[in-house]
Structure 1
Amino acid sequence: MKHNGFNKVWHIEGGIIEYARKAREQGLPVRFIGKNFVFDERMGERISDEIIAHCHQCGAPCDSHTNCKNDGCHLLFIQCPVCAEKYKGCCSEICCEESALPPEEQRRRRAGRENGNKIFNKSRGRLNTTLGIPDPTE
């Protein structure tokens, strides 16, 4: 956050989830909005009902993280239920097509491939429109 120009940034002892629990316990307002990402199988813990993120594929309000179902990708991204069905849990049509191939063909294609051909650029936070997926920020 500091690299985005915020000067007053501190760590919260116990993390966001503990902060929200203690605030509610003491009858104080919880100022964290949305879902807190967590680094385990839950992938997120809802703190408030507001949804402040968007599906990386269509731009619909959504805050559900998932990993691409293509074993050669496993990109962590936000996907709404509509796109999850449309892309069968994959991050792109290319990954969807590849994940539908027989397992041996998938392994053959992955052999020697670097895991860098992602369609989601985390540094810019947008999808690669050259693959025909709309950029929800435009």
Structure 2
Amino acid sequence: MFDHVKFGVSDYAASKTFFLKALEPLGVTVVTEWPPNGVELSQPQGKVSLCLHQTEEKPAHLHLAFVAENRRQVDAFYRAALEAGGEDNGAPGLRPRYHANYYAAFVIGPDGHNIEAVCHEPEALIRVGTISAA
């Protein structure tokens, strides 16, 4: 829906570290950096990006929701984000008030932003094949 989101952060190094670690399970890496304190992050062959830059301004808190391909990625995002210093704002799970397959996790990042990973797909079914003797 968007090309990129850019916002200011109060501690560039901490925010860059947080977002790279928290979004690593979603395949997000550095696309480019610009001096002195700016970075663009995206998924491989991504068409959208997240840009962070150092600022002294006090931005309003944002809610950023990242697409996860499956529920395992949501779970991995949540663990990685907490390990990166994020604060729990909603453990991985279904949010049926949005829709039946809305599986998401929420953390608060270094500047108080609500960061979410969400999968809209039903849980993957594991099919076990059987072999029968003739």
TM-score by length of 2: 0.22
Q: Which one scores higher on RCO, CA 8 angstroms, separation ≥ 6?
A: 2
TM-score by length of 1: 0.22
Considering fraction of residues, name the structure with more strand: 2
Considering fraction of residues, name the structure with more helix: 1
Higher Rg of the two aligned structures? 1
